[in-house]
Amino acid sequence: MKSAYTLLEIIMALAIIAIAAIVIFSILSNVLNGMGRVYRESVKTFEANAKLESYLTGATSEAVPSEISYLRITELATQLQVQIIRPSGSEYRNIPLFLFEPTQAQQ
């Protein structure tokens, strides 16, 4: 039986599909990788926040990085010294979450 397609047509079609598949699946792979990374970061964010919460409630005595800052209250013309508490551990370093609590000193 004689084919309805020429050899050239079949080669062109296969080439188009192959190129499209390579491009599309590489994009898909990147998207799926990205989704996985976002999911992991999201989980870490909640973990980090849970650690901050447990620090605030006193449920953990785990040392957390802290720094001194000031909460400026305009109408009272005062600034309260506070301690900024960030999530501990290197895995939470890039997560921009923090709490703050009063220190003994006030200005």
Partner 1 sequence: MKKGSVLIVTLTIVIFLSLTIIMMLALYSQLINNYSMQQKRLMVSNVAKSGAYVLADYYIKLLRQNPNLASNLNVDLTASLKEFPGQIEYKVRSDGNYITITCIATLSDRSVSDSYSLRLKKLGGLSFGAALVSNTTVEITNNGIIDGDVEVLQGDLRLENNTAVKGTAYVKGNIVSIGGGGGSKPVIEEDAYAGGSIDASGVVIKGRAYPNQNPVPFPSQYAYGGFPLPSPPPEASSAIISPDPTSSGIVISRSGNYGNITIGNNKSLTFDTSAGDLSVYVSNIYMDTKAEIVVKGGRRVKVYFANNIGPQDNVNNQVTVRVENGSQILFYSAGNGSMTFKNGFQVEVQPPNTKGAVFIYAPNATFEVQNNFTLFGAIITKSFIGLKNKLNNLNLTFADPGSDFPVDFLNPVYTYGGWSK
Summarize as ranges the residues that interact with partner 1 (CB under 8 A): 4-6, 9-10, 12-13, 16-17, 20-21, 24, 27-28, 31-32, 34-35, 38, 41-42, 45, 49, 52, 56-59, 61, 69-76, 80, 82, 84, 95-102, 106
Which of residues 90 and 105 has its CB atom nearest to partner 1 in the complex? 105
CB of 54 to partner 1, least distance (A): 10
* CA–centroid distance for 100 within its chain: 21
User: E strands within the chain?
Assistant: 66-73, 78-85, 99-106
Residue 48, CA distances (Å) to 30, 34, 88, 94 in order: 26, 21, 8, 11
**Residues present in the chain in total:** 107
Q: 4 or 90: whose CB is closer to partner 1?
A: 4
Q: How far is the CB of 51 from partner 1 (least distance, A)?
A: 12
Two tokens at 68? 């001194």
DSSP state of 98: -
Between 90 and 94, whose beta carbon lies closer to partner 1? 94
> Minimum Å distance from CB 35 to partner 1?
6
The DSSP code for 94 is T
- How far apart are CB 93 and partner 1 at their closest, in Å? 14
